[in-house]
Amino acid sequence: MTLALVTGPSRGIGRATALALAERGVNLVLMGRQSAELDETGELCAQKVQVSLEHCDLADRTALGAACSHVLASAVPDVIISNAAVIERRSVELTSLDAWDHQLAVNLRAPFQIARAFLPALRARKSGRIIHVGSISSTLGSANAAAYAASKWGLTGFTKSLAEELAGSGVIALVVLPGSVDTEMLEGSGFAPRMSADDVARTLVHYALDAPLAHNGAVIEMFGV
């Protein structure tokens, strides 16, 4: 049976994606900081499939490395969806170095670290899909979100470079760029929601389970309606 690892599944796009995968009968590893929301997502998904929770602060490289090793000790995911992200809305001159580093750690370094941890096993098996959740901000830029936008631009560049390395391996990497999604993260942005978390989840599930391998390196933009 297919196994998917999803980061940031406590709410928003992550929760919607976990639930959509569970509806398709996909077993899940849900990775995120320990919280009542994460437990709730796990309980909802466990009504359909097997679920394991991997508690981890994705900004902590040591903890994340240990979490990936723990997952690998029991199974190799068929699908990895790096969805977790954080944003701190401040102008450039008011963005502290710590805030900058934290956003890049969660939004960019963590997807890199996760991909690097699982790649040897995926390559050995000659199959697997690594899907990153980026943002339209990586093509447009947003005022008061420079660190977030920079991390998402970097995530697209990382994904496309990774895809080149994976060509012909049976493993693919791609990135989905949602626009204004009706989630807590959109609050305070000044943008009106133009899509739901379920819209993004359905897209992620399609590329995780149904889309052909020819989508390796794809950048899927979602501008909304």
CB burial readout 12-45, b (16+ within 10 A) else e = bbbbbbbbbbbeeebbbbbbbbeeebbeebbeeb
Q: Output the CA torsion sign for 9, 159, 206, 76.
A: negative
Contact status, residue 155 vs residue 107, Cβ threshold 8 Å: yes
Catalytic residue among 118, 148, 158, 207: 148
Which tokens belong to 150?
A: 């920079």
Give the residue among 24, 4, 7, 1 at the shortest CA–CA distance from 202.
Answer: 24
Integer CA distances (angstroms), 195 to 86, 94, 128, 142, 182, in order = 19, 30, 28, 18, 6
Give the residue among 142, 137, 144 at the shortest CA–CA distance from 92.
Answer: 144
Coil, strand or helix: which one is 130?
A: strand
CA atoms within 13 A on the CB side of 139: 13
207 is catalytic: no
Strands 219-222 and 3-7: unpaired
Q: Which residues are catalytic?
A: 148
